[in-house]
Every structure is written in structure tokens, then in C-alpha cells.
Amino acid sequence: MQEYLRALPKTELHLHIEGSLEPELMFELAQRNGIELDYASVDEVKAAYHFDDLQGFLNLYYQGMNVLRTRQDFFDLALDYFKRARSEGVVHIDMHFDPQAHLIRGVALEEVMAGLLEAKREAESSLDLSVGMIMAFLRDRPVEEALEVFEQAAPYHSRLDAIGLDSAERDNPPIEFKALFERARNAGIKGVAHAGEEGPADYIRQALDELDVVRIDHGVRCLEDEALTERLRQEQVVLTVCPLSNVCLKVVDRLESHPLPALLDKGLKITISSDDPAYFGGGLLANHIACHEAFGWEESTFQALNRNALEEAFIDEARRSELLERLTKTANR
């Protein structure tokens, strides 16, 4: 089954590129940029990857990204993950990135965008990997700042597939960012939002009604609201569920008790992703294998999940058709 899952053409809709920073690359970039880390070794960094909640993770996450300073750093970060993902059978990634987290450190938006866009070009030309671009905004920072950054990013609007909403969910409801998503929509840019991970089910409803998003990142707490769950089923709103992330951040105690099987039983449109693979136990393949071991899912379930992801991916139609055909051939092998 592991060999099958590696060969399966997989699509990832929920990946934070800053969360793909492996400790080895963190040390390499720190040395390049003359930055002193709080950790003496790679093993010491890995030992810190035990979190009590989302905020505990975010504290380390933002500290780690401090090594990212130049366009070369962002290029190396992204391409490192793209190569790793492609070796595990990933064929498309919708990539979140957080410009505010870099701007507040004094890193110019041009450095971030130049490095990430060059890595995207390299991946699409040489790795047989397509990449969607999601500019995510931090919900625990002022909406006024988000609006300013969105306007600053105007030269790149044509390169964005969507904007997103991420970071600490508790007490930061989606409705606060209604003006941002409306401005993006007026610019022809779609929206996605993290909701229903640590925040309540109502945050999912807010993301749909107030932000008009096309998909929900996480969304696992929807089951707490029967009417919302039925709405998600009827409208086939995709939920980008991140199983190993949910375990690491204590959204669930163990994978075997994850609501994923219940979400599928309810007829919801589900995909699985890795979220922040360097911190949460591995990439998309690791999440597939873990779900097989925890739930006993067989080939047909994983085919359906990846078909869902391909149908919802930010991808041109020719590439979508090509990858759907590949997926079908794998199913019929």
C-alpha cells in the first residue's frame, strides 16, 4: 500500500511554504545570513517540535522563519520542498505564503515574491509540478495592515490565485477581514480561509457568508453544527483537512479519533494536506500513509480524495485534465 500511495498522483491544497523549512536548511540559511539560532544543533531543533496548541507552534514557526532574508533564501526554501514533494508523488501544490510575517522583520515584499515565483517557474519547467499561489494574511494582526499589504502587492495580483486567512484562530473571527476579501474579490482574486480548526464552527459559516471563500482550510469542527454540516454537504464546499497537523496541535488526541471518517460518511468534499510538513511529521505522502494505518482506507478512498483536490486546485484547465487522466490510469492499473 505504501508503494501504491507513493505512486498515486497526489494534490496538496493546504501547504504553508514557511512551514516546510527543515532544520537542516534552517541552519544552512542561518549561517549564510549570519544569524545566531537559539538551538545548538538540528537535533535540538527537532526536540522543540512538540506543541501544546496552535500558539505554541506559531511561536517556533515565526522564530524559524527569521533565517529567511533574501530572494535566494525564499527560492531555496520553496524548491527544497518542491523537490521533496515531487519525489513522493505530488503533482500539484497550492502554496500559502505569509508576506506580513516577513515585512514586519524588514524583508521586502520584492525579495519574497521574486524567490517564490522563480522557484515556481523552476518547478513547473523541470519537475513536472504545478504550483498555485495563495497570499495569506495573519488574522492576529490588524485588518488595516492586511489591506495595506494587499495594495502593496498590486504588481503581483495577476500572479495570485487566491488570498488566504491564517495564523492564531482563537478570538480572531473571519468577519473582521470582510473588507480585505471584498477588495480581493473586486480585483478578481478568490479567497480561502482557515476556519474551524481551533475556532468554533461558526467561524466556518462566517468565512462562507462574510468572506465568500471558495474553500475552507481545516474545517474539522463543522460537525459541532448539524445545519452547517448539511450546508457543506449540499454545496460541496471543499475542506482541506490536515490530519497529522491536527494531532500535533492537539486538535485531536490521536489520529484514530480524528473526525475524518465521519466527515466522509456525511458526504462532505474532503481533501488531505500536510499544512506545515517540517513541523508536523512529514509531507503529503506521510499523511496518506498515516490515514491508511489509522482508518484502514484502501485505494479507492485515496483516489477520491485526490480527485476532490484536483477538481478544486488552482490550476489551468489543461493541466487539470492531464492530471485527472493520470489519476484515472492509476486507479485502473
Catalytic residues: 197
CB 250 within 8 A of CB 218: no
Report angle CA 203, 206, 211 to the nearest 5 degrees: 125
Strands across the sheet containing 269-272: 10-16, 90-97, 130-138, 162-166, 190-195, 215-218, 238-241, 269-272
Q: How wide is the angle at C-alpha 236 spanned by C-alphas 232 and 238, nearest 5°?
A: 85
Q: Is 171 exposed, middle or buried (0-12, 13-18, 19+ CB in 10 A)?
A: exposed
Strand pairing report for 238-241 and 130-138:
unpaired
Least Cα distance to 280 among 100, 56, 11 occurs for: 56
Strand-pair partners of 170: none
The answer to whether 136 touches 97, Cβ cutoff 8 Å, is: yes
Q: 10-16 and 90-97 as β-strands: parallel, antiparallel, unpaired?
A: parallel
Rounded Cα–Cα distance for residues 15 and 313 (Å): 12
Q: Give me the DSSP letters along 82-147.
A: HHHHHHTTEEEEEEEE-HHHHHTTT--HHHHHHHHHHHHHHHHHHSS-EEEEEEEEETTS-HHHHH
| Distance in angstroms (rounded) separating the CA atoms of residues 296 and 292 | 5
Rounded to whole angstroms, the Cα distance separating 35 from 50 reads 24
- 11 alpha-carbon distance from chain centroid: 11
